[in-house]
Amino acid sequence: MELHVWLAFFAASWVIAISPGSGAVLSMSHGLTYGVRQTSATIVGLQLGLAVILLVAGVGVGALLLASATAFTVVKVLGAAYLIWLGVQQWRAPVTMASSSAGTTAGAVGEPGLPSVRRRIALGFFTNVTNPKGIVFMVAVLPQFIDPTRALWLQLLILLVTSVGVDLLVMHGYAFLASRAQRWLASARARRAQNRVFGGVLLAMGASLLMVKRVA
């Protein structure tokens, strides 16, 4: 891969990562609720999902999903349903004000207290991997950075490492910024409002996925 091509993808990766999406909302929600350290597991899950999407698009399966109305609809509905489920869980999350010595606060997605590392990774993974917008975007963008005369696997590896590395930094940045707001959201009323805001955003994103159209 030529250096100027990689630099262009590197710049595009920052734009993609910084653009608000379901991954950013989840990172901020967990960062605000649990703190940056505990949110790292969620962000690892997001990167695993991103890696799957990039590889799927890179090997052409993404194009196949876009070509098949049935397959694309299934992915779209599953992704929308998952985000809506997350939104409902966040909206209804019970609020408790017990804080740990690490600076985390209980009261979050799905249950009072901190979910297990496995569950946080799964939440991040399924948030990204069931997002048809990510598949549509990758199918549209990746071909511009792949040279058909060179080894595909090596180019995909470079693009994968670059994209995941950038997104890892950006999602931790979102989590950090959100965690700084903990002191202004110390009351039960403020925490409940936070749950409603993030839950509402996830619900809206889930509903918006149903509007995503297949590329002709």
pLDDT tens digits for range 72-108: 777 677 767 777 877 787 677 666 544 443 333 344 4
| Greatest alpha-carbon span in the chain | 59
Domain count, the chain: 1
Which of 29-33, 72-76, 108-112 is predicted most confidently? Answer: 29-33
Q: pLDDT band at residue 61, thresholds of 50, 70 and 90?
A: low
Inside any domain, residue 140:
yes
Question: What are the φ/ψ torsions at residue 121 (nearest 5 degrees)?
Answer: -65, -45
Q: pLDDT band at residue 110, thresholds of 50, 70 and 90?
A: very low
Residue 104, pLDDT score: 39
Inside any domain, residue 15:
no
Inside any domain, residue 17:
no
Closest among 76, 44, 56 to 168, alpha carbons compared:
44
Taking only the tens place, the pLDDT of each residue in 137-176 is: 777 677 677 776 777 788 889 989 999 999 999 999 989 9
The whole domain housing 80 covers 3-10+22-209
Residue 44, pLDDT score: 95
Taking only the tens place, the pLDDT of each residue in 2-29 is: 888 888 888 878 877 887 678 888 898 8
Inside any domain, residue 215:
no
Residue 74, pLDDT score: 76
164-169: long-range pairs with CB below 8 Å, 24+: 164/47, 164/50, 164/51, 166/10, 166/13, 166/14, 166/17, 167/13, 167/16, 167/17, 167/23, 167/46, 167/47, 167/50, 168/43, 168/47, 169/17
Residue 111, pLDDT score: 40
Inside any domain, residue 214:
no
Inside any domain, residue 146:
yes
